[in-house]
Structure 1
Amino acid sequence: MNAARAAAATAAAELAAQRADVTIRELHGLDEMHEACRVLDRIWRPDPGNPLITPELLRVFAHSGSYVVGVERDGRTIGFCLGFLASAGLHSHIAGVDDGVRGRNVGFAVKQHQRAWALARDLTTITWTFDPLISRNAYFNLAKLGAVPSEYLADFYGTMRDEVNAGTETDRLMVRWELTGAHAVASAAGTPRTITVDDAGARAVVGLDAKPDGSPVVGRRDGDTVLVRIPAEAEELRRTDPPLARAWRYALREVLGGLMAEGHTVTGFTRDGWYVIDRHQETQA
């Protein structure tokens, strides 16, 4: 283990938790696992007959050395995260915080704690998946943390019966977070990986955009850089206009999924909702 690196990560994690006004700790007891499941139920609101995970399984994960943590504020559990060992290092399977504390850097504190936990165990990569249509998650994962998409997974989980995912196909982006890389180190110091559309250059093309009515329109994919827009509030679209939400799902799968399947690299996500894909290597070959 690189002791200095692990110590720096721990210090960054402690500062992030302090700034978010939370305590993050590993869970062990069965009562704690029941409370963790109640948190998950509040966030995802699953079908009672189809829980996201059971307390008994969480206890097995914790006892066998997996990453099982709760997030507390003022003596109340407001968040939870589960990660387990995988071929790449640590795979972060599920993480969530109560709606009332979103946007207050709690998620950032959890990821910094997870990074420190992994580095203390000589794990240098964390992977996880997220819905590529959710703009705030894309910005958090790719810009604020500096993770890099590695694979587009169409309808990865199949039909899910919780209120968050109901009625939509479960496309996901798999991302890799290289914990000792420059972007993760900068993230720990509070420096996001910022990128703008203007950075794309003169040979950029728009591969996916929105029409004036808000519907998606597929464009070109033959530039050095391809810009791919997503709607600002896809979750709201699912509730108010399910056909339009599905249209965006299929268009993003075609364009972003297609480009990634061809081996092109997602280099970032802009604050105003664009994926930036680099095609320079193919153009120069």
Structure 2
Amino acid sequence: MTDQHPTVATAAPRTAGAEHVIEATALAEATADAAGIAVAELGTIEEMTEACALLDHIWRPDPGDPLITLKLLKGLSHSGSYVAGVFADGKLAGACVGFLASDGLHSHIAGIDSTLRGRHAGLALKLHQRAWALRRGIGLISWTFDPLVSRNAYFNLTKLGAVPTQYLANFYGAMHDEINAGTETDRLLVHWDLTSGVAAPPVDGALDRAVDGLSVGPDGGPVRGRVDGRRVLVAVPADIERLRRADPAAAGRWRAATREVLGGLMATGHTVTGFTRDGRYVIEGQDER
């Protein structure tokens, strides 16, 4: 079924100047150094083979449906798209693949091995991608993520400052890997303006006039509330991946509720302006912005 939620209009990113390229490159290098890793483009067949195996190890897809293939990686790299890896102690421990799109660079997939958890390797990888794009005159990166994954929402919207532009219902169809667990794959499409700096202003202290459009009930399930406020909060579970394994039916209820409330608000012109530390999207109407 084709998604019916319209794309939210966003201003075109500014053209990157030399100062943006210098700043972005320095920040990416400093972040990688602080994390004790190196981020670099992948160039050899051996590296790309390792990247495919690593991504499959992280997602554990159905053996007949790999996330990405060596031949596709080679073609993307050769044609000028983004194929990069994270190296820790000389070993590949992360990978990211993006392809050139009509509005900039679309980052298709990124994964970091769990051994690097807590070292900000994901941030270093995205900052490397930002610097790579700016050096090529690209001012915008887009990607999709599951709106139910709280840590990814906080990282994308708050730490990076990306802006959701579209709610995509069941975008990839059912994915039978350990992360998606055969569930419908709703996604938020975000745009990251590479010339506007990194990180978004905090939102937690400016919620006095907000209403709860979706909250977590006493049993951990979704509770629908009001959506008529100028600022609406939409909560998601603390750990949807654990919930999918422990209680698939409850995870399905969260998918349906988030699609209805978050997707519905975006479809009627509301804008997602942030994500709080305690796991709530902040959504504002036209009059509030």
What TM-score, normalized by structure 2, do the two folds share? 0.92
2:203 aligned residue: 195
2:96 aligned residue: 81
The separation in 2 between residues aligned to 1:50 and 1:42, in whole angstroms, is 13
User: What per-residue deviation string (whole Å, max 9, x for no partner) do you get for residues 175-208 of structure 1?
Assistant: 0000111xxx143xxxx53211x41233x21100
Amino acid corresponding to residue 60 of structure 1 in structure 2: G
Note the C-alpha offset of 1:280.
4.2
* Aligned partner of 1:235 among 237, 241, 247: 241
* Aligned partner of 1:18 among 30, 33, 42: 33
Matches within 5 A, 1:248-259: 248-259=254-265
Is 1:168 the counterpart of 2:174? The answer is no
Amino acid corresponding to residue 201 of structure 2 in structure 1: R
* Aligned partner of 2:226 among 215, 220, 243: 220
2:13 aligned residue: none
The separation in 2 between residues aligned to 1:10 and 1:158, in whole angstroms, is 37
2:47 aligned residue: 32
The separation in 1 between residues aligned to 2:140 and 2:72, in whole angstroms, is 24
2:277 aligned residue: 271
The separation in 2 between residues aligned to 1:88 and 1:97, in whole angstroms, is 26
User: What per-residue deviation string (whole Å, max 9, x for no partner) do you get for residues 68-89 of structure 1?
Assistant: 0011000110000001111110
2:77 aligned residue: 62
Note the C-alpha offset of 1:48.
1.4
2:68 aligned residue: 53
2:139 aligned residue: 124
Alpha-carbon spacing, 1:129–1:186, altered in 2? closer, same or farther (3 Å): closer
The separation in 2 between residues aligned to 1:219 and 1:16, in whole angstroms, is 41
Is 1:103 the counterpart of 2:118? The answer is yes
The separation in 1 between residues aligned to 2:107 and 2:64, in whole angstroms, is 24
Percent sequence identity over matched residues? 60
| Runs of 4+ more than 3 Å apart | none
Which structure has greater helix proportion? 1
Conservation of the 8 A alpha-carbon contact between 1:267 and 1:276: yes
C-alpha RMSD of the superposition: 1.3
Is 1:207 the counterpart of 2:235? The answer is no
The separation in 2 between residues aligned to 1:172 and 1:104, in whole angstroms, is 26
Note the C-alpha offset of 1:102.
2.2
**Local SS of the residue matching 1:232:** coil
1:260 aligned residue: 266
What 5-or-longer segments of structure 2 have no aligned partner?
1-15
Corresponding residue pairs, total: 274
Alpha-carbon spacing, 1:31–1:69, altered in 2? closer, same or farther (3 Å): same
Note the C-alpha offset of 1:161.
2.1
The separation in 2 between residues aligned to 1:258 and 1:117, in whole angstroms, is 35
Amino acid corresponding to residue 158 of structure 2 in structure 1: A
User: What per-residue deviation string (whole Å, max 9, x for no partner) do you get for residues 129-177 of structure 1?
Assistant: 0000000000000000000100000000001122111221100000000
The separation in 2 between residues aligned to 1:263 and 1:85, in whole angstroms, is 28
Is 1:146 the counterpart of 2:154? The answer is no
The separation in 1 between residues aligned to 2:132 and 2:256, in whole angstroms, is 37
The separation in 2 between residues aligned to 1:108 and 1:186, in whole angstroms, is 10
**Local SS of the residue matching 2:110:** strand
1:244 aligned residue: 250
2:11 aligned residue: none
Note the C-alpha offset of 1:39.
0.7
Compare 209-218 and 148-157 and name the one that shifted more.
Answer: 209-218
Conservation of the 8 A alpha-carbon contact between 2:159 and 2:198: no
